[in-house]
Amino acid sequence: MAAGRASRRVFFSITLMALAGAGGAVADSVPSVELTAPAEARLLAPPAPAELDARLFPLPEALEDNVNFWTDVFAEYTSEQAVLHDEEHLDIVYAVLDYSRLEASDLSDVEKYRRREKAAGETIQRYSSILLALANDRAPDDEDHRRVRALLEGLPGGSSKFRQAKDRLRIQTGLKDRFAAAIERSGRYMSEMEASFTRHGVPPVLTRMAFVESMFQEGARSKVGAGGVWQLMPSTARHYLNIGAEVDERFDPLAAAEAAARILRSNFQSLESWPLAVTAYNHGANGMRRAVTNLGTNDPGVVLTQHKSRTYGFASRNFYAEFLAAAKVYAHRRVYFPQVQPQPPLRFDTFVPGLYVSVLDLAHQSGLDLDDFKELNPAFDGEIWQGGLLVPKGYRLRVPSGSAERVAAAYDALPDSRKSPYQAGRRHRVRSGDTLSGIARRYGTSVAALQRANKLRGSHLIRIGQTLLIPARGGVYRPPAPAPTRVAQAGSAPKASDGAPPSPPDHEITHVVQAGEVLSAIAERYGTSTATLARLNGLADTHQIRVGQRLRIPASGGA
């Protein structure tokens, strides 16, 4: 912290009084607040960890207060607290709202949220009025106005600085409890992520960025479309990961970590500074290159604090400071979170199927729990777990540790009819007038299933000429029938009778015709011919099949 600025850290806590009256009756109006003494727990925090090599990750003096602020957010304030602070000068903290009594009440979540928002809004309005009174030199000589005046005493400027500060009020919710949960989840991935970063020539301490990005929430999604632990945008992720109907590897923390490492390495090669490379992960490499060019330096103390642009907002300005704070808190987790233990690392083997196959079949045939497959393969679309889509051929399927041979044997034991060179389902080319709901009705599926299978964010976002994957119908899973066993009596041999109908194939499956299906597409799906299906099912006209009709499908195709 810069010398002579410690006084700005003086703030008061505001306790939200959610309950009032005997028996805890709920107050109808927004609760009042009370001021309590300030806390200075940050001053006792441990130093920066050794893994944050100052040569690679310097802490400019101008960012010290920011790092201290985020350390408090991560390790001192819970999600039941909110900090009212100055958006640019993070050492200026006006108040802390405490919602713990509100959260412990029996109010609905909607009502709790409403009261939190209203209390936050009134607190902002209260301090806006104080700052405006100071700016107009009409402030009463009371404790609140004297305290706020003292908080801004070190800032340059006369009365105008109070007016400017009024427009910089911001509320930050505490993250201590979320950080604790993130430490637990991180144990599943951290060692492998560090190894991945090391392989790509990236300092392994940068894996702590995942705390800032998502708090290690595997299914995290942002409002702008970023996804997964590493919050990758689809347009960026496609350069590094598999993103398709069946798989979105942004939601696989380990696969996404490989992409993050490559992005960071590319950023560093372009910017020649790890602080700028880290910031570029949030702001974009092009934006940081423009900042370096405009300022004539890649000194992070200059670039990160002095760069101005429309898109370089609060999140980008603070991203590097948040990373430093997260790395510090994680390194000293036994001090900040003595009762929290990271979960054990994931252990798994891999199996690569040669053809498309149902994970439900693999789980059933191998006797393994489907939930184990789910835990190890978070990149899979939900339709895979429902049987609507198949595990892609060539995909490195993770299986429980020690079970690779068992899964391979289960795959080999499946009849050929349960494996396919093609993905399940059909394709539909969007035509003028098509709607997603209409397409769903036509094929007997749901809008939600089409959205999942095609990664559609809205029910109206389809375009003429677009090809949609129509997932196979879900429903009750039917395990593969066991292969028939032929038993011959001793001393005898099977005889063929003249004029008898041809014997059915050793393995045969039944396909139930769905809405919109045609025989040629069914034949293509199962690797056989239209003529074979027509002959096997006694069809005089290959165009006359009906929804619900059961077709015999030869396991090995046929001519």
Q: Is 73 helix (H, G, I), strand (E, B) or coil?
A: helix
- Distance, CA of 251 to CA of 383 (rounded, Å): 15
DSSP strand pairing (169-173 vs 81-86): antiparallel
In 3D space, the residue among 8, 18, 14 whose CA is nearest the CA of residue 35 turns out to be 14
- Please tell me whether residues 430 and 414 are part of one structural domain: no
- Please tell me whether residues 155 and 26 are part of one structural domain: yes
CB 179 within 8 A of CB 211: yes
Among candidate residues 336, 363, 390, the one where a domain is terminated: 336
Reported as a single tens digit per residue, the pLDDT across 477-524 is 455 655 443 333 333 333 333 333 333 333 456 677 766 667 877 776
Does residue 117 lie in a domain region?
Answer: yes
Q: Note the pLDDT of residue 33.
A: 39
The token pair at 391 is 């595990």
Q: Note the pLDDT of residue 46.
A: 66
Among candidate residues 357, 391, 420, the one where a domain is terminated: 420
Tell me the average pLDDT across 332-351: 96
CB 216 within 8 A of CB 186: yes
- Distance, CA of 25 to CA of 533 (rounded, Å): 72
Among candidate residues 315, 336, 357, the one where a domain is terminated: 336
The token pair at 472 is 């196979």
- Please tell me whether residues 109 and 162 are part of one structural domain: yes
Which residue in the block uniquely carries the two structure tokens 């109006």?
29
- Average model confidence (pLDDT) across the chain: 83
- Distance, CA of 298 to CA of 302 (rounded, Å): 8
Q: Would you tell me how many other CB atoms lie within 10 Å of the CB of residue 242?
A: 16
What's at 463, amino acid-wise?
R
- Please tell me whether residues 412 and 432 are part of one structural domain: no
Long-range (24+ apart) CB contacts under 8 A made by 28-32 are 30/115, 30/118, 30/119, 30/122, 31/102, 31/115, 31/119
- Distance, CA of 281 to CA of 266 (rounded, Å): 10
What's at 393, amino acid-wise?
K
- Please tell me whether residues 162 and 272 are part of one structural domain: no
- Give the CATH number of the domain where residue 302 resides: 1.10.530.10
Q: Where are the beta strands (DSSP E) in 60-114?
A: 81-86, 93-98
Instruction: Indicate the pLDDT class of residue 26, thresholds 50, 70 and 90.
Output: very low
- Characterize 381-401 residue by residue with b for buried, 16 or more Cβ atoms within 10 angstroms of its Cβ, and e for exposed: bebbbbbbbbbbbebebbbbe
- Please tell me whether residues 22 and 169 are part of one structural domain: yes
CB 31 within 8 A of CB 16: yes
Reported as a single tens digit per residue, the pLDDT across 276-323 is 999 999 999 999 999 999 999 999 999 999 999 999 999 999 999 999
Reported as a single tens digit per residue, the pLDDT across 40-94 is 544 455 666 767 899 999 999 999 999 999 999 999 999 999 999 999 999 999 9
The token pair at 344 is 């054990």
Q: Largest Cα–Cα distance in the chain?
A: 114
- Please tell me whether residues 110 and 146 are part of one structural domain: yes
Tell me the average pLDDT across 342-356: 96
Q: Note the pLDDT of residue 251.
A: 96
Q: Note the pLDDT of residue 29.
A: 46
Is residue 121 pLDDT above 60, yes or no? Answer: yes
Question: Is the pTM higher than 0.85?
Answer: no
Start-end of H helices in 2-108: 64-75, 100-103
Does residue 559 lie in a domain region?
Answer: no
Share of the chain above pLDDT 70, in %: 81
Q: Please give the span between the terminal C-alpha atoms of the chain, in angstroms, as a whole number.
A: 79
Phi, psi dihedral angles at 481 (to 5 degrees): -70, 145
CB 451 within 8 A of CB 459: yes
The token pair at 490 is 């001793």
Tell me the average pLDDT across 3-20: 46
- Please tell me whether residues 18 and 158 are part of one structural domain: yes
CB 179 within 8 A of CB 215: yes
CA dihedral sign, ordered 368, 370, 372, 376:
positive
Does residue 69 lie in a domain region?
Answer: no
- Distance, CA of 264 to CA of 281 (rounded, Å): 7
- What is the DSSP track for 319-363? HHHHHHHHHHHHHTHHHH-TT--PPPPP-EEEE--SSEE-HHHHH
Domain of 434 in residue numbering reads as: 426-470
Is residue 365 pLDDT above 80, yes or no? Answer: yes
- Please tell me whether residues 15 and 132 are part of one structural domain: yes
Sequence length of the chain is: 559
Q: Note the pLDDT of residue 532.
A: 83
Reported as a single tens digit per residue, the pLDDT across 414-439 is 999 899 888 877 778 898 888 998 88
- Please tell me whether residues 250 and 193 are part of one structural domain: yes
Reported as a single tens digit per residue, the pLDDT across 461-486 is 788 888 888 876 544 445 565 544 33
Reported as a single tens digit per residue, the pLDDT across 376-418 is 999 998 889 988 889 999 999 999 999 999 999 999 999 998 9
- Distance, CA of 241 to CA of 165 (rounded, Å): 44
Tell me the average pLDDT across 178-189: 97
Distances, alpha carbon 89 to alpha carbons 58, 65, 144, in Å: 20, 8, 19
Does residue 1 lie in a domain region?
Answer: no
- Please tell me whether residues 166 and 195 are part of one structural domain: no
Does residue 341 lie in a domain region?
Answer: no
Is residue 335 pLDDT above 70, yes or no? Answer: yes
Number of structural domains (the chain) is 5
- Give the CATH number of the domain where residue 528 resides: 3.10.350.10
CB 240 within 8 A of CB 263: yes
In 3D space, the residue among 434, 433, 438, 473 whose CA is nearest the CA of residue 453 turns out to be 473
- Please tell me whether residues 16 and 83 are part of one structural domain: yes
At residue 171's C-alpha, the angle toward residues 170 and 176, to 5°, is: 140
Does residue 55 lie in a domain region?
Answer: no
Does residue 535 lie in a domain region?
Answer: yes
- Distance, CA of 116 to CA of 37 (rounded, Å): 22
Does residue 61 lie in a domain region?
Answer: no
Is residue 367 pLDDT above 90, yes or no? Answer: yes
